Amino acid sequence: MSGGRGQGPLAGVKVLDLTSVLMGPYATQIFADLGADVIKIEGPAGDTTRHLPPGPEAGRGAMFINLNRGKKCLALDLKQPAARDVVLRMAQQADVFVHSMRAAAIKRLGLDYAALQERSPKLVYANLYGFGAKGRYADYPAYDDIVQAASGLADLQASLNGGTPAYLATVVADKVAGLTGAYAIIAALYAREKSGTGQEIEVPMFETMVSFMYAEHLGGSLYDPPLGPPAYPRVVAKERHPYRTSDGYLALMIYTDRHWRAFFDAIGNPVWSTNPMFASIGERTRNIGAVLGRLTDILKDRSSAEWMELFRRIEVPAMPVMSPTDLLTDPHLQEAGFWDERETADGRLRFPGIPTGFSGTPGAIGDPAPALGADNDSVLADYGFAESEIAALRDSKALV
């Protein structure tokens, strides 16, 4: 991506970021990548992910360095009234305040929406937490595994895992909720442009993932009475998996009627291709196990390269199965300029790029996440604190 810091589509937006771990930092990473001025406010121990290995030294874990790139760090002990007053004062100049604490915890700190809205009516205030504030689970603690289980995702994986519930090998609930938080905040900023006032946003992981799951899995349960169970048959079929070839594995989606006709023509229209279960998307869905099972039998007879040549020729979607290591040198990603490699104080680093492109206001990846409290003085000075005030905060231990 071309373009420098502060030139992206969110340039000039000031964000106070009281999030930790992954969901919130992922949302605010998007803001930083797109040009916003993000101030990450951490407590004396720092964000938990600072301490997750691997890393070049204590407090410099790889996940933290990536998730919090392009941000500045202000370290405050928010249990002290003076530190709370700092945040309240900064909020008067900020556009966005985002946290990932439980509702009861942020209220105990005196930093709930009511406290900030009174001083800054234009502020967009975002709550990113586990469960919605109005339900009985409101104050339950939550991490990604908990929400994968609670939202039905782990149970759906059971059909692909021999009947045993399983987690996805990625923190999908954290990231989906983070993305949802990012678009919700941007939508509220747009609304403020028209109304002149801010508002409070709630982004609960649990409800977000239930909505995400039911985009396709609501199925027949959309209707009352139900016309079928809440599941999309193709996705939960045990036969749905990467296909074994004679020398590897392929992902393949022969999906539309045109795809199937082209495939049958390419392999010589065998007798079994006339089976009515292949005739339409409705019939294929009703017989999805048998359809996918037939593909499993067919694909094992040729090499991955042979099948890829055929599928490219007939324009049927297919890709070889690649590992996370393969992606580090993937030729498409290299040609697209996806990886951002640079020399830093932490050594040579490779950041995943910004996936979205803007013709007029491109984003840019900032520096690796700062050390705990590295920007204390400069951030406070930018927000109008005098040197004497900063010194007093340091002496009182409110500033870490």
Residue at token pair 């910004």: 354
CA angle 333, 334, 337 (to 5 degrees): 85
Tell me which architecture the domain covering 14-212+334-395 has in CATH.
3-Layer(aba) Sandwich (3.40)
Asked whether 77 and 43 are in contact (CB, 8 A), the reply is: yes
Both tokens of 161, joined, read 């895992």
Count of residues in the chain: 400
CATH number (3.10.560.10, 3.30.1540.10, 3.90.550.10, 1.10.10.60) of 243-320 reads 3.30.1540.10
| Among candidate residues 81, 78, 45, 80, the one with its CA nearest the CA of residue 64 | 45
SS3 291: helix
SS3 176: helix
- State residue 308's pLDDT score: 98
Predicted confidence pLDDT, tens digits, the chain (400 residues): 334 556 899 999 999 999 999 999 999 999 999 999 999 999 999 999 999 999 999 899 999 999 999 999 999 999 999 999 999 999 999 999 999 999 999 999 999 999 999 899 999 999 999 999 999 999 999 999 999 999 999 999 998 888 999 999 999 999 999 999 999 999 999 999 999 999 999 999 999 999 999 999 999 999 999 999 999 999 999 999 999 999 999 999 999 999 999 999 999 999 999 999 999 999 999 999 999 999 999 999 999 999 999 999 999 999 999 999 999 999 999 999 999 999 998 899 999 999 999 999 999 999 999 999 999 999 999 999 999 999 999 999 999 9
Residues facing 72 on adjacent strands: 39
Residue at token pair 């074994």: 244
Q: For residue 236, what are the CA distances in angstroms to 156, 175, 240, 277? A: 7, 22, 7, 18
- State residue 5's pLDDT score: 58
| Among candidate residues 184, 183, 187, the one with its CA nearest the CA of residue 195 | 187
Cα Rg of the chain (Å, integer): 25
Q: Quick one: how far is CA 335 from the chain centroid?
A: 24
Residue extents of the structural domains in the chain? 14-212+334-395, 243-320
Q: For residue 386, what are the CA distances in angstroms to 378, 383, 389? A: 11, 9, 5
- State residue 4's pLDDT score: 53
Residue at token pair 């013709």: 359
- State residue 354's pLDDT score: 96
Asked whether 314 and 266 are in contact (CB, 8 A), the reply is: yes
DSSP assignment string, 6-59:
T-STTTT-EEEEE--TTHHHHHHHHHHHTT-EEEEEE-TT--GGGGSSP-SSTT
What single-letter amino acid sits at 297?
A: D
